[in-house]
Chain A
């Protein structure tokens, strides 16, 4: 259980990764691997750093992807579609 600390001190270093900002998403980027040319522009533009380079192409980390849509906007091959998040 989280307890209020004096000065909102958090003693666990790097604990922001426990906060899954992917919760904030309303639209979700979905990559069409058929269209993807592995140019890695989406990887460079993602402000959250949550697109990973893999041999199979870009992989989105949905735990932290906020659904901003920048990747979809920047993809020169229209390989990324923003779809409504269903939870």
Chain B
């Protein structure tokens, strides 16, 4: 296994290349532009046997993905932020048509005001499209999760599209060392795939056909069953990946949570900072742990419940905001516990929007605020904004 140092976009592009897609329709957008650039370079250099479709918008990119995938091709693309918002309509269709397209995302904030930096709003806003969602903490995870996503999405029990999020700039444009899996091993792990039914001019058929009120609800039910089933498939594929490549993934990755009073939930690159903060606080005798979500859809609710049931507070960090409510992750974690007779207090911290750095002291503040709730026995302010610059307000 070769070790190289590359930026996050190069890692997801390399993960895509190793997965041998047949078609890559893509439209460039910061911070994901390097992905299609790298893919076209691979193709031009003869290192990759794929067709790159240069489209005029992200809506067209996803449309081309859908067409190619319905023809039975292995398809991937990349996008971010406004691009994903523009794709949204077609993303619902890709999921409804049960096409295992894989998308690399450079997670970025949405305008207005225009902002190109790290934020999870772009993909969180698409959580109801029916796509699987993976979030990487490091470039290595970005690479590995691309390969994993193809295998999960193409599984006959699943057949759904999936996305792999890497944080804008913090990962997309940051160079890290990654282990490059050998092509031969990837080929064994992810063999060529064949859709049972695909578009063929000689055997015309309709994909995603008309669903009248008599059938639509049942159709959605089967689609939802498939993403629920993907939860087990993800576990299987993670286990197989570990056996083959040695690196371990789980839907949730806890750190020092066994005896923790406060468990901090994170997604993406801030998870590393969370562990550093936990180490520092542990040295000071604070009983705190953290846990990152590698998989956000399907939502790992049962796993989170098992992990946090003995904690006193679950501190949810949201790098997104559902205006008029709070963080998306907070809402979902809370819903998971609502029917339990006894459960930890749950607090929400809006943090790191639009590329604001997430610092160790922020985690210390979050711990203090969470313990304050324990002392009072209630959460006075469920949704708090962390690291605010009060001067500009």
Supposing A7-B99, A19-B210 touch, asked if A12 and B219 sit within 8 A by C-beta, the answer is no
Query: Among residues 1 to 32 in chain A, which have CB atoms less than 8 Å away from a CB atom of chain B?
Result: 2, 4, 6-16, 19
- Least CB separation from A12: chain B residue: B205
Q: How many residue-residue contacts, CB under 8 A, span A and B? A: 45
Give the docked Cα–Cα distance between A8 and B159 (Å). 13
Q: Is B208 an interface residue when CB atoms closer than 8 A count as contact?
A: yes
B197/A11 in contact, CB under 8 A: yes
> Digit string of B178-221 for contact with A (CB within 8 Å is 1, else 0)?
00000000000000000001000000111111110001001100
B222 part of interface (Cβ distance < 8 Å): yes
Of A7, A8, A9, A16, which is in contact with the most chain B CB atoms at under 10 Å from its CB? Answer: A7
Is A8 touching B97 in the complex (CB atoms < 8 A)? yes
CA distance A9 to B200 in the complex (A): 13
Q: Is the interface of B mostly helix, strand, loop or mixed?
A: loop
CB distance from A52 to the nearest CB of B (A): 25
Please name all residues of chain B whose beta carbon is closer than 8 Å to the beta carbon of A8 when the two chains form the complex: 96-97, 206-211, 219
Interface centre among B97, B99, B209, B210 (most CB of A within 10 A): B209
When distances are taken between beta carbons in the complex, the residues of chain A under 8 Å from B215 are: 2, 4
A9 near B159 with CB under 8 A, answer: no
Q: How far is the CB of B89 from chain A (nearest CB, A)?
A: 16
Show 14 A/B contacts (Cβ-Cβ < 8 Å), sorted by A.
A2-B215, A4-B222, A7-B96, A7-B97, A7-B98, A7-B99, A7-B208, A8-B97, A8-B206, A9-B197, A9-B207, A9-B209, A14-B204, A19-B210
Please tell me the size bucket of the interface on B.
Answer: 10 to 19
Count how many chain A residues have C-beta atoms less than 8 Å from C-beta atoms of the other chain: 14
**A9-B197, A11-B197 given as contacts; is B206 within 8 A of A4 (CB)?**
no
CB contacts (< 8 Å) of A15 on chain B: these are: 206
Smallest Cβ-Cβ distance to B219: which chain A residue: A4
Contact B206–A10 (Cβ < 8 Å): yes
Min CB distance A3 to B, Å, is: 9
Which residues from 25 to 62 on chain A have a C-beta closer than 8 Å to any C-beta of chain B? none
- Please state if B208 and A4 are interface contacts (CB–CB under 8 Å): no
Nearest Cβ in chain A — how far from B161, in angstroms?
A: 11
What is the CA–CA distance of A49 and B99 in the complex, to the nearest angstrom? Answer: 34
Which chain A residues border B208 with CB–CB below 8 Å?
A: 7-9
List of A residues within 8 angstroms of B205 by Cβ:
9-13
CA distance A81 to B70 in the complex (A): 46
**B98/A10 in contact, CB under 8 A:** no
- Give Cα A10–Cα B211 distance, bound, in whole angstroms: 11
Chain B residue at minimal CB-CB distance from A15 = B206
